[in-house]
Amino acid sequence: MGHVRLRWKPLLVAFALLALVTAGAFAANAAGAEEVYWSGRRSLPIYSVGRDDNKIAVSFDCAWGVEYTDRILEALEKGKVRATFFTVQFWAEKYPEYLKKIDAAGHEIGTHSATHSYMSRLSEQEIRSELSTSREAIGKIVKKSVELFRPPYGDYDDLLIDTCNALGVYPIQWDVDSLDWKDLSASDIVSRVTGKVKSGSIILMHNNGLHTADALPAVIDALRAKGFEFVPVGELIYRENYEIDHTGRQYPANAS
């Protein structure tokens, strides 16, 4: 009897696979194969913006410490650059005086979540909590609404992006990574950033990068010499009637 059972197992597996294929074919015929299998579309954040006016944005993620923040603010002030700072809730609550200083200097502030979690691992309710509590906490300190969000670690899925959109929050990534968090030298940071920027780029930096403050003046000077104009992320992106292509580049609707 044991040998008979062993012979039936492959047959049962084969019948099961056949049933699945048949069901899949029926569903594809009913709903359209593109819907059933792979539509080629994902819900994407904004990595960069399709524009030809040479406007770009530099952004800083704030999650740990403030050791280099004053020097970064000094470099931005000297370079007459308004930037965007994405702050985690616990950072904002620990350093409210720095958040106010950033805001008073004319920079834009977005949320970087409440707890700096991997957002793709969270439920919709948890995502909503991360966004709402961090926006509320930051908003209370600077007395302004918070409309931009950068996912910690750059980690996201369709649920996160769809939830952001439902809440009226713009999810922002980047297309130029300074890698300053790896403690690259100032010259390496300058080389990486200035060699990759194009019109509509969003540059990623960190307020606690070891050599970020050292590199920033040269980055600003080099990019401005190339004809680029710095604006906050909120002034770079399109707020309505836009599309996002498969690379995460945002365009006015019907222009991509």
Tokens of 163: 């939830």
C-alpha to C-alpha distances, 114 to 65, 125, 127, 195, nearest whole angstrom: 16, 14, 10, 33
pLDDT in tens, the chain (256 residues): 444 444 444 444 444 444 443 343 333 333 332 222 233 468 999 999 999 999 999 999 999 999 999 999 999 999 999 999 999 999 999 999 999 999 999 999 999 999 999 999 999 999 999 999 999 999 999 999 999 999 999 999 999 999 999 999 999 999 999 999 999 999 999 999 999 999 999 999 999 999 999 999 999 999 999 999 999 999 999 999 999 999 999 999 986 5
Q: What pLDDT score does 5 carry? A: 42
**Alpha helices per DSSP H over the chain:** 2-31, 33-36, 69-78, 89-94, 96-104, 124-142, 158-167, 186-194, 212-225, 233-236
pLDDT at 193: 98
* Predicted local confidence at residue 254, as pLDDT: 81
Q: Residue 182: its pLDDT value, please?
A: 95
The percent helix, strand, coil of the chain (3-state, each to 5) is: 50, 15, 35
Q: In this predicted structure, what is the pLDDT of residue 11?
A: 43
The β-bridge partners of 251 are 243
Longest dimension (CA), the chain: 86
Q: Is the dihedral of CA 112, 116, 118, 124 positive or negative?
A: negative
Return the domain boundaries, the chain: 2-36, 48-252
Q: For the whole model, what pTM was predicted?
A: 0.83
- The dotted CATH code for 48-252 is 3.20.20.370
